[in-house]
A and B are shown apart, each in its own frame.
Chain A
């Protein structure tokens, strides 16, 4: 933690995340207006003292909608990543520990899944199971798991030949003990680093699905959906697109920088 505060990237990343989490936790109570209430006298306005980030085509306050949408957008990214990482890490660790033909079989299957771009993969899944926030989350999780499995597997493989594992084998420890007490704790680092960077991709993927009409559905205030709804009126009020876009960028950037800093700190070899 102290290392993180000394790391310039880490400080910027952590501050951005602080802003985002403030919006997630307290957003609805900070919002100056009800996100769904119309102000017919003030439609498609630019930023002003009354509406800090302007209003949309129904005269709804953009700032309030963004503050409310933080939950839908950020929790989506966290949830999808958590699910994808857990499943992926489980598959990867199984492959790495089992070795031989099980490993080869799993890896060939993963290679196939990795050959389909993430976005197309999620689109295919959402088309099969129907478009909703929950299904989009599931789809992103499934699309993430092959990549996570690969990272977890290579972490297991690099730990397996290390001296402390060899020592445990020589001591005659049980297989379960070696895996649980020696291998797993040392594979967690790379998995956490990758996961924190992946949250930013998950947020962007979720917003893209919302934008294409395949994720969150109206009247949700998910940020991608906000941009999709504002598109018809974008020339009259660019703020309706720019403000949620900036919000997505802040969230994605926060997780990205935080993950990079975490990698530098957890991997001393990469430290300069």
Chain B
């Protein structure tokens, strides 16, 4: 791992965020109805609108507005939410950690389930187990989150079974068991789709590695099957799997939008949908940037992890 590679990747991430910020700003500029109309309502007079537009700086050219907004974002002044009457930093900060809890839960579940399943399928290729896992993997990627979420809701949270709460959120500092209990169904929905995706990847990488010369050499050396798999095959199959998991963070972030909406989990996804429905521009801008930054940074982290796992990766 050399420093120049790291710096180059970091610059690329910053460039991506700059592009996203510009795109998001332009999109919110062309949204029908500007901020002054949003604040004053549709019965405001022309004069009132003009006065407030001037006060908010909406009459300045767009690039001046953009630079002013970007400067504010960088300085930590993200503005006020128009609908919630709270600073955007507060609103996003709270929602972010609630979503992060779901994402972390899903990623942990997936790593525990998907990697062993993928390895098992690769080791027993062509057997019933392999076919079953393959079928599950294909089905999992073909059912959208909102269907899985709704079906889980019906069968595990319905009046007949009532195993889990149908939705909502309890802060962890109030009741940790309650917090975890409400997390089960959203995390299960997210994990199902990710597991399906990653199992396939781990299986195909692992079968490639198992057919390679160095695994044959390890077997011929007389190592036990356990050692061959854990010491020689798995580490080499993991690097590509990490790459896929990091790309799946994109799906995960999209999935969080839907899952939070279905299970009424007050995270970033629900906040974005609320802000979009209510045209809360500062929240839309900041929340979209936060999601993009999370995605870009997770890709950066995975690149570093891959470089550490697989020394053959060249820093180009």
Contacts and interface: CB of A to CB of B under 8 A. Distances in A.
B158 interface: yes
Contacts of A117: 250-251, 253-254, 257, 291, 295
Nearest to B148: A245
Contact of B31 (A127, A204, A231): A127
Given A109-B19, A116-B291, A117-B250, A208 B258 contact: yes
B242 interface: no
A165 interface: no
Interface string A226-258: 010001001100100110010011101100110
B242 to A, nearest CB: 19
Interface stretch (B90-98, B115-123, B137-145, B216-224): B137-145
Interface residues of A, number: 38
A245 B27 contact: no
Contacts of A120: 253-254, 257, 272, 288, 291
Contacts of A112: 15-20, 22-23
B156 to A, nearest CB: 12
A118 interface: yes
Given A123-B273, A253-B139, A241 B20 contact: no
B12 interface: yes
A181 interface: no
A260 B160 CA distance: 40
Contact of A241 (B23, B147, B250, B288): B147
Given A208-B258, A227-B146, A245-B151, A116 B288 contact: yes
Nearest to A210: B146
A249 B250 contact: no
A231 B254 contact: no
Nearest to B166: A235
A224 interface: yes
Interface in A50-100: none
Given A123-B276, A227-B147, A234 B142 contact: no
Nearest to A123: B276
A167 interface: no
A145 to B, nearest CB: 13
A235 B151 CA distance: 10
A127 B276 contact: yes
A108 B11 CA distance: 12
B272 A115 contact: no
A33 to B, nearest CB: 24
Contact of B143 (A125, A127, A249): A249
Given A108-B19, A207-B144, A249-B142, A235 B257 contact: no
A125 B147 CA distance: 23
B264 interface: no
A52 B55 CA distance: 63
B288 A234 contact: no
Given A108-B19, A119-B258, A248 B143 contact: yes
Interface string A113-150: 10111111001110110000000000000000000000
A242 B150 CA distance: 9
B159 interface: yes
A119 B288 CA distance: 12
B16 A115 contact: yes
Contact of B15 (A108, A119, A249): A108
Nearest to B155: A238
B254 A235 contact: no
B212 to A, nearest CB: 14
Nearest to B157: A235
B141 A256 contact: yes
A113 B150 CA distance: 30
Contacts of A227: 146-147, 150
A212 interface: yes
A221 interface: no
A118 B258 CA distance: 12
B146 A224 contact: yes
Given A119-B254, A249-B143, A231 B150 contact: yes
A109 B20 CA distance: 9
A262 B282 CA distance: 45
Residue picked from A117, A208, A253, most chain B C-beta under 10 Å: A117
Contact of B296 (A115, A128, A253): A115
B291 A111 contact: no
B292 interface: yes
A249 B272 contact: no
Contacts of B261: 212
Given A108-B19, A115-B296, A242 B143 contact: no
B295 A245 contact: no
Given A116-B291, A227-B146, A234-B154, A123 B272 contact: yes
Contact of B142 (A108, A128, A211, A253): A253
Interchain residue pairs A-B with the least CB separation, the first 10: A112-B19, A119-B254, A245-B147, A252-B142, A253-B142, A117-B254, A204-B144, A115-B292, A117-B253, A249-B142
17 contacts: A111-B15, A112-B18, A115-B17, A116-B23, A117-B251, A117-B291, A118-B254, A124-B288, A127-B276, A200-B141, A211-B146, A224-B146, A238-B155, A248-B144, A249-B139, A249-B143, A253-B138
Interface of A: 108-109, 111-113, 115-120, 123-125, 127-128, 200, 204, 207-208, 211-212, 224, 227, 231, 234-235, 238, 241-242, 245, 248-250, 252-253, 256-257
